[in-house]
Chain A
Amino acid sequence: MFAAFDNFPALLIWLPLAGGLISFFIQSEKGARAAAIIFSLLTMGVMMTSLFFTTMEYNAYSQVSYVWLPGLGSSFGLILDGLTRVLCLLTALVFPMVFLLVPGNRYPNANRFYGLMLLAQCGLMGVFMATDALVFYLFWELALIPVYFLASIWGGEKRIRATFKFFIYTFVGSLFLLIGILYMYLKTSNASFSLVAFYNVKLSNIEQYWMFLLFFIAFAIKMPIFPLHTWQPEAYEQAPTPVTMVLSAVMVKMGLFGLLRWLLPLFPVAVKEFNTGIIVMIVIGMLYASLVAINQDNIKRLIAYSSIAHIGLMAAGAFTLKHAALNGAVLQMFSHGINIMALWIVADLVEKQTGVTSISKLGGIARKAPVLTIFLVIAAFANIALPLTNAFVGEFMIFNGLYQFRPWIAALAGLSIIFSAVYTLNMIKNVFYGEAGDAVEGFADINKTQAMVLTVITGLILFFGVYPDPFFKMMYETVGLIVNRYVTI
């Protein structure tokens, strides 16, 4: 292979970082926005190109490792394998869309806004690609800090409190993760932080239980899994919409990704021991979140709770350790990221134009904005996971795995699908149809940029709803490796 092949992972880190730093120093609002869009599109271009170089041969992963802190046993290692590619693709797609959707002059000090956003993208890419635990941890935090500042500076009225709660929650979680990583590091035979060295560590059962707990808390807070979810609705509600999009579309996937890359392969004994209990807990959380969503009048909170239910399903699928469910969960991570973008676009439009977030005060938008309604209905169907939408494929496979695992759990979890139909359709009915209230007087339909982004999203929803095969080809091998770790025990 030629040299550029190995440089893809590095480019995916450096491009957003460089873009972020450049945007910081462009004083004009337009210039900063342009720089952010250009760099995020460049990143997307690199990501797309890298797919063509790697799908031909599954075992050929782009991998790089730079010397960094040799004394500590850490090197700056990055990999683009099947699992990583799905998530990096999602990250690379979401950011340009978010930037395009931000209307000019909405945020004062736009250069800082775009700079911090791109730094967050750099952090996310790093989390997904790191093959070294210390690097993983650093990027894990690096992704958090820009988002904390973004949400606290440009967020809603109660932003300081809400985002601080979010920060403290995740920070505590990541400190537990740090203890776990340090313990594993001291157990490696060659004093190394590399993923491979971690895979070879032999732990006693008790040690595995402890380590499982330390890692799991960090990932569970990030996802979030009931009962550690309380930061999420507030943070989603108070953060500015572009940040909420990044949070819900990509950042929560960090937790799920952590499960797949670190937790499941590292502590098989502990996972086998705890998975039934954890899946039951997750399913309870899903049903709880769905019920709260049904009773929710605030449109943003409704989407937030619906997201908890969906993420829960993916986590449950991952813990079944069934091949189909794991593949489904990864696919669903991508699909959910795309679909929820569409929902936030709608919520943002409604809030900005009417100043109301309460579902009961809205109604009849369909007559004012027919184009928006068409897009929303498709996105809503995807949220319910109707066939022909991308979410159907993933959720179907997860249910397949859950059924193989324990039929009664699959049945219980299936209730959440029904609930999701209830609250999603209810929302559409009350917001878009029915009597037009005073609030929606003068509601304008979407502009060209929004239409373009929504077209892309809808295209992705329908295309991968019919033909998800490229994804499975991409990740089959990597997911297989995770499942194989359980064959021997």
Chain B
Amino acid sequence: MNAIILSALWGVLMMYTGFATKNTRIVSAVAVLGVLAVFVVNWMEYLGISFFDIDTRSMLVYNGFGLIFNAVVLFSTLLYFLLSGSDIEKSGRTPSDLYALLFFILSGISIIAGFKSLLMLFIGIEIISIPLYVLAGSDKSNLKSNEAALKYFLMGSFSTGIMLMGIAFLYGDAGTFYLEGINAGLGALSPMKAIGMVLLLASMSFKVSAAPFHFWTPDVYDGSPTVFTSFMATIVKAAGFFAFLKLFETAFGKFQSDWQVLMAVVATLTLLVGNITAVFQQSVKRMLSYSSIAQAGFMVLGVFALNIFAKQGMILYFAAYGIATIGIFGVLTKFDDHSIDAFNGFAKKHPLVAFSMLICILSLAGIPLTAGFFAKYYMLLAVIKDGNFLWLAIVAILSAAISVYYYFRVIQAMYFKEATVEQHVAFAPAFRITLLIAAVLLLVLGIHPDLLTGLL
């Protein structure tokens, strides 16, 4: 509750800083301060200190899992502001507005962290989505950005419609919006509930870009300004997955055996489509778009399994995937040329940035001793624990092997190839240090994942 209110208020404050000062660096500093403050109050709530006592009629209930999820997301946002703040300043005429929108998104995510009712789910998802449509089109003079915004808006509102339809069916069946209420009661899955559930599955799959509802992702991610692609692909996606997991655990947990095969199909499709398409990309940005679909496939495995390993793995996955992707995007935004060849000989010119990026890529590929390995480890463990779906684990590792192919192309370019064209990229010392800290964090979580998973 602390985080919702503070982030909403801070969003308003961000708008006013635009009036108060024209110095964009101050605006960025206020934003960093804000996200830090939200992180702290969220952590205080985890420790049991709540500043607001609001009767939400149990529509919003915060437990450890939700608050830790929120903490991971807020931390990723902090990292994102630190690494990409200077790029947010450059995009659009008034960065303070963009920061305000980002804070509103954080407020929506905080609602998602505690929803217990389908109404709150809907409101949270919408508060996240609407600012995103604006951010996708924030590069007003660029046609591709406009196209991305329009596509995102049309497809997004379509999926929202489907979600509402699903909620209506569920309400019609159970007579309540509460998740527990839907799960309660005796007997098998009624047809109406089944229809509602499948509609929600489709709309949530859309939000997290899981196949076969992923078609908007590459275009939107590619067209949007790179800074906001980074935000969409990591923090927003994590929120989508948290909602997905919580919805299916609390509302449909009893019917797991009914929808598990469906979820296995979604996971398989997502893993294969994302990984195989990513192999053919020549642009790092587009490759990362497909890789985000592929990584979503692994996270769907968590929703599929819904056991303790899945929850721990999900949190670790958010952290590992978020930190690594934000790091890589942070470097990528400094490049004008997004092709893989642009990275040729990068390690010679910027050894420290290249090394940090190497760790990020290794983590995404799931190489041991990085956080990404243990994220995948937990997901596999969660799947194998169920016993009957060993084939799904094998599909997952085969696609992980494919992912090595395209991730390592960037490593090969950075470390083993000579620069052909002179690239003019510069990195501020603060950027280099922040990126290195992110990389070290990935290594620490790769050696001691229980620092994070032990909190659950």
Interface residues of A (CB under 8 A from B): 69-72, 137-138, 141-142, 145, 149, 152-153, 159-160, 164, 167-168, 171-172, 175-176, 178-179, 182-183, 185-186, 210
Contacts and interface: CB of A to CB of B under 8 A. Distances in A.
The 4 closest A-B pairs by CB, nearest first: A175-B397, A141-B368, A172-B401, A71-B450
Given A152-B416, A175-B397, A141 B384 contact: no
A142 B367 CA distance: 9
Contacts of A164: 408, 412
B400 interface: yes
B134 interface: no
A179 B390 CA distance: 9
B183 interface: no
B415 A182 contact: no
Interface in B358-389: 362, 367-369, 377, 380-381, 384-385
B150 interface: no
Interface residues of B, number: 28
Contact of A178 (B397, B398, B448, B449): B397
Contact of B401 (A71, A149, A168): A168
Contacts of B385: 186
A76 to B, nearest CB: 11
A172 B398 CA distance: 7
Interface of B is mostly: helix
Given A153-B415, A160-B412, A175-B397, A168 B405 contact: yes
B294 to A, nearest CB: 15
Contacts, number: 68
Nearest to A149: B415
A153 B393 CA distance: 33
B381 A171 contact: no
A167 B408 contact: yes
Contact of B404 (A153, A167, A185): A167
Contact of A182 (B368, B380, B400): B380
B394 interface: yes
Nearest to B417: A160
Contacts of A182: 377, 380-381, 384, 393
A29 to B, nearest CB: 17
B397 A142 contact: no
Contact of B380 (A149, A159, A179): A179
Nearest to A155: B416
B453 interface: yes
22 contacts: A69-B449, A69-B450, A71-B450, A71-B453, A138-B368, A141-B367, A141-B368, A142-B368, A149-B415, A152-B416, A153-B416, A160-B417, A167-B404, A168-B401, A168-B404, A168-B405, A171-B401, A172-B397, A178-B377, A178-B380, A182-B380, A182-B381
Contacts of A167: 404, 408
A152 B358 CA distance: 15
B367 A145 contact: yes
Contacts of B450: 69-72
B48 interface: no
Contacts of B187: none
Given A164-B412, A178-B397, A179-B394, A171 B368 contact: no
A178 B453 CA distance: 20
A152 B405 CA distance: 15
Given A69-B450, A71-B454, A138-B368, A210 B408 contact: no
Contacts of B408: 164, 167
Contact of A160 (B367, B368, B398, B416): B416
B345 to A, nearest CB: 12
Given A171-B401, A171-B404, 19 more contacts: A69-B448, A69-B449, A69-B450, A72-B450, A137-B368, A141-B368, A142-B369, A160-B417, A164-B412, A167-B408, A172-B397, A175-B397, A178-B377, A178-B397, A179-B380, A179-B394, A182-B377, A182-B393, A183-B384
Nearest to A141: B368
Nearest to B454: A71
A185 B449 CA distance: 18
B401 A175 contact: yes
B416 to A, nearest CB: 5
B412 A210 contact: no
A138 B369 contact: yes
Contacts of B401: 168, 171-172, 175
Contacts of B384: 179, 182-183, 186
Contacts of B369: 138, 141-142
Interface in B424-456: 448-450, 453-454
Looking at A149, A152, A176, A178, the one whose CB has the most chain B CB atoms below 10 A away is A178
Interface-centre pick from A141, A164, A176 (highest chain B CB count, 10 A): A164
A179 B368 contact: no
Nearest to B366: A175
Nearest to A151: B416
Nearest to A214: B394
A60 B184 CA distance: 60
A175 B384 CA distance: 14
Contacts of B362: 145
B301 to A, nearest CB: 13
Given A69-B450, A182-B380, A175 B400 contact: yes
A175 B298 CA distance: 15
A88 B203 CA distance: 56
A327 to B, nearest CB: 33
A369 to B, nearest CB: 34
A346 to B, nearest CB: 28
